[in-house]
Amino acid sequence: MAKGIKLFRVLGIRISVDWSWFIIFGIFAWSLAYGYFPFRQPGLGPLTYLTLGLVSALLLFSCVLIHELSHSYTANRLGLDIHEITLFIFGGVAELTKEPEDPIVELKIALAGPAASLVLAVLFWGASRLIPSSSYPLVRAVVSYLALINLVLLIFNMIPGFPLDGGRVFRAIWWARTGDIDMATRIASRIGKGFAVFLIIWGFLNIFTGNFTGGLWSVLIGVFVQQAAESGYQQLLIKRMLEGVKIRDIMSKGVIHVPESKTVAEAVDEYFFKYHFVSFPVTANGRVVGLISLNNVRALDKERWATTSAGEIMHRLASEDALAPENNALDVLTKMSAENGGRFPVVDRGELVGIVTRRDIMKMIEFKSGLGR
Ligand SMILES: [Zn+2]
């Protein structure tokens, strides 16, 4: 998962933004300043439009954030741990560590976001009615825009294709009625993909008939929904297969490790050339202190190999890097995608007991899917 820029904390949840967010924020502010507001409120200066655009885009993203927080807050109250939300191009992605265990929980979490958007839409609509347009035309224009955009967010999110909220609602209802979550997920993601294809075709039709900007948005959102439906479904399958699997079930034991005091030259001859692994845990008195990889070796001048110890060039292992045998297999998968690492030492009370690789996990997934799970 791409690492975002950390912003602040609300309700114990860390809020980050992905780089893509800045691009989309700019496009939004720009199209509001040069498209929407000049059309709604003609005859103002360019600086006024720019301010309106920036303020409205910021408020819009605050509304998206409230929508996402509402999901996460509900999830946390129902016992799922969510510590972080990353805002991406369209909306946000809450880091969900566990899948909901029953359809009612899923339904509540899925509905919490759209419920927040509905409340916001009604509030802004009410406010826009109360603000006299004669004295505060600009405030009223922004508030009416927010009412509209929250309604759009609500409708868009309630489309019944997974992984949109509506898709989760659909899946929860199907799951509750049939007890078959796999089937429910498959159908919901198919609807999601179908909707994506519709958006893309619709977008191109618009582009070819002259509505370039509207069409482009439609295509972009379509591509986004398509990818989210696909990866959301894959992730779900993997999560379901690794449910209840512990690190100890998949790790390889009898790990070859490099003592800290070995020189890099020795490490290359006695370990890298001999065993052909890309990295080895480094130990001092039987305790894991780091990880030495081919990249670490390559980064060091060859003349210094004989005089530098493995401990000097290794990647030091922080306590949160270490996996315990009791950890869930899903944890290592999350770590792997976050750090792009291949091999993770498993440590029990400071002592090296095994190693987990991507292949170990894939083997478990293959094994379980072979059993028809
Ligand atoms: Zn949502």
Spacing, Cα 373 to ligand 1 middle (Å): 29
Buried-exposed string 131-162: b where 16+ CB fall within 10 A, e elsewhere: beeeeeeeebbbbbbbbebbbebbebbbbbbb
- If DSSP states are collapsed to H, E and C, what string results for 204-233? HHHHHCCCHHHHHHHHHHHHHHHHHHHHHH
Cα 165 to averaged position of ligand 1 atoms, centre (Å): 5
Query: Alpha carbon of 3 to those of 6, 244, 337, 353: distances in Å?
Result: 9, 27, 10, 30
Q: How far is the CA of 335 from the centre of ligand 1 (A)?
A: 25
Distance, CA 217 to ligand 1 centroid (Å)?
Answer: 19
What would the mean pLDDT of 325-343 be, rounded to a whole number? Answer: 71
Query: Alpha-carbon distance 131 to 47, whole Å?
Result: 23
* Within a domain: 173: no
Q: Is there a domain that residue 279 lies in?
A: yes
- 63 token code pair: 């509304």
Q: Return mean pLDDT, the chain.
A: 82
Question: Can you count the helices (H) and strands (E) in the chain?
Answer: 15, 10
Q: Cα(136) to centroid of ligand 1, in Å?
A: 32
| 273 and 146, same domain (yes or no) | no
Neighbours of 358 (CB within 10 A): 15
| DSSP symbols for 8-27 | EEETTEEEEE-HHHHHHHHH
Domain boundary among 103, 132, 158: 158
Is the pLDDT confidence value at 99 over 80?
A: no
Rounded mean pLDDT of 203-217? 86
Is there a domain that residue 22 lies in?
Answer: yes
How much distance in Å is there from the Cα of 372 to the middle of ligand 1? 32
From 158, 179, 200, give the residue that closes a domain: 158
Residues 25 and 143 in one domain: yes
Q: Using a cut of 0.75, tell me whether the model's pTM lies above it.
A: no
User: For residues 276 and 279, what is the distance between their CA atoms, to the nearest angstrom?
Assistant: 9
Cβ-based neighbours of 45, under 8 Å, separated by 6 or more = none
| 190 within a domain of the structure (yes/no) | no
Compute, in angstroms, the gap from residue 171 CA to the centroid of ligand 1: 14
The answer on 253 and 154 residing in a single domain is: no
Per-residue pLDDT tens digits for 184-200: 888 888 888 999 999 99
Instruction: Give the other-Cβ count within 10 Å of 42's Cβ.
Output: 7
**Cα–ligand 1 centroid distance for 71 (angstroms):** 7
User: What distance in angstroms lies between residue 284's CA and the mean position of ligand 1's atoms?
Assistant: 48
CB 199 within 8 A of CB 218: yes
- Report CA(89)–ligand 1 centroid distance (Å): 14
154 and 9 in a single domain? The answer is yes
Domain count, the chain: 2
Contacts of residue 351, Cβ cutoff 8 Å, sequence gap at least 6:
286, 287, 288
Tell whether 174 is covered by a domain. Answer: no
Question: Does residue 274 form part of some domain?
Answer: yes
Find the 174 Cα to ligand 1 centroid distance in Å: 19
299 pLDDT higher than 50: yes
- Distance from residue 260's CA to the centre of ligand 1 (Å): 49
Q: Kindly state whether residues 21 and 129 are assigned to the same domain.
A: yes
Cα of 101 to ligand 1 centre, how many Å? 19
Shared-domain flag, residues 282 and 145: no
Q: At 343, which CATH number? A: 3.10.580.10
Range of the domain at 350: 247-370
Q: Do 17 and 150 fall within a single domain? A: yes
Encoded amino acid at 273, one letter: F
User: Does one domain contain both 17 and 120?
Assistant: yes
For 42, the token pair is 């003609």
Of 109, 113, 115, nearest to 96 by C-alpha is 109
- Ligand 1 mean position to 68 CA, how many Å? 6
Residue 191 in any domain: the answer is no
Q: What's the gap in Å between 241 CA and the centre of ligand 1?
A: 25
Measuring CA to CA, how many Å separate 234 from each of 125, 182, 273?
39, 11, 36
Which of 137, 158, 179 is the last residue in one of the domains? Answer: 158
CA 256–ligand 1 middle distance (angstroms): 46
As a whole number of Å, the CA-based R_g of the chain is: 26
Q: Is residue 85 part of a domain?
A: yes
- 308 Cα to the center of ligand 1, angstroms: 53
| pLDDT digits 0-9 by tens, 148-180 | 989 988 988 888 887 788 888 998 999 899 988
SS3 state of residue 303 = helix
Highest mean pLDDT among 7-16, 111-120, 329-338, 359-368: 111-120
Same domain, 13 and 148: yes
Q: Judge whether 117 and 154 are in contact, CB under 8 Å.
A: yes
